[in-house]
Amino acid sequence: MTEGLDLHLGVDKGWQAWPGWPGCCAGSGRGPSVDGMTTKTSNTALTMLDSQRPPFVPEGVEAMTIRIDLSPGDPGSPPHRHSGPVFGYMLEGEMIFELEGEPERVIRAGDVFWEPGGDVIHYQAANNLADRWSRFVVVMLCAPGQEMLVFVDDEELEQRRDQRVGRVS
């Protein structure tokens, strides 16, 4: 538990931040970093799982919260990109996750992940387990008038093959 950070449920104001609670100000200079922070008051515990500063957030953004269920061994969707940043939490199982410019990695239940969206290709979100379902939740910030998920064709994948890191042994 991080000392000095406290959050209370107010009767008429909903969630209320108390002095010292950095809220969404991580990295803004207005509060301390909150990565790994756990706050507990009463019977409610809040744990900061991740804090990111995306390179851009589209103006007029629409937020969508989606649960994805991958059947055993499911390879997931083909390479694609998103019009805005995506933030995820692995509920159960394991996922092989690969973004352009990063090595593929395994995301396990309880892990968080994110991708910046925009021009970055998302190569994999495959179930790493052959015998169990894997499930995760994502919050996607979608640029207005654009599709949230756009598949990348083979020609573009070939043109950008030098930007793919792939599996690191």
For residue 26, what pLDDT is reported?
40
For residue 37, what pLDDT is reported?
56
Instruction: With a cut of 50, list the residues of the chain below it in pLDDT.
Output: 1-35
pLDDT in tens, 127-169: 999 999 999 999 999 888 888 899 999 999 999 999 998 776 5
The answer to whether residues 83 and 115 touch, using CB atoms and an 8 Å cutoff, is no
| Distance separating alpha carbons of residues 145 and 143, to the nearest angstrom | 6
For residue 52, what pLDDT is reported?
79
Q: Identify which of 117, 65, 105, 71 has the alpha carbon closest to the alpha carbon of residue 89.
A: 65
For residue 3, what pLDDT is reported?
34
Indicate the helix (H) or strand (E) that contains 155: helix 154-159
Quote the pTM value.
Answer: 0.71
For 6, counting Cβ atoms within 10 Å of its Cβ (0-12 exposed, 13-18 middle, 19+ buried), the class is middle
For residue 4, what pLDDT is reported?
35
